[in-house]
Amino acid sequence: MMTDNVNSVRKLSPFLLLIILIAFILSLSALYIAVDSFINQSGALDAYSFLAIGFGGLAFSTYMLLQTRGKPMHAVLVLPKVVTTLECPKCDFKNIRDFKREDYIFKETGPCQKCNETMTITAIYREAKKKK
């Protein structure tokens, strides 16, 4: 039996998490190398490059982490409402209702509220976001 996997979308991908972790560790290492060569005045290493790589990597991994953490919430918030437009071919009466899973364009649905003629689905679309 298949289990409902809707919730799995909201979980963080372990692969992505690993990449972020590696980027984070590499950035810290680069920063460490940069600081170390500054302190020791070795000059053998380009400390500024390592410093840039370190900060860049830290910024990248932080950004990625925030992105992945923010996504599920974001997706829920902007989930658009899908509506179905029904039209009567006889009297042009239009009716808009929530989209149902079985809906498809040109499908014949229930009778017209005005003339009892079978209505046809003419459009399925996302309703525009409402401004609060």
Q: Any contact of residue 91 with Zn ion (CB under 5 A)?
A: yes
**Binding span for Zn ion by CB under 5 A among 4-12, 34-42, 48-56, 83-91:** 83-91
**Binding span for Zn ion by CB under 5 A among 10-18, 44-52, 55-63, 110-118:** 110-118
Binding mask of the shown chain, residues 18 to 37, with x at each position contacting Zn ion by CB under 5 A: --------------------
Residue closer to Zn ion by CB (options 42, 118) is 118
- Cα torsion through 15, 20, 22, 28, rounded to 10: -170
Residue 96, CB-side half-sphere exposure with 13 Å CA sphere = 8
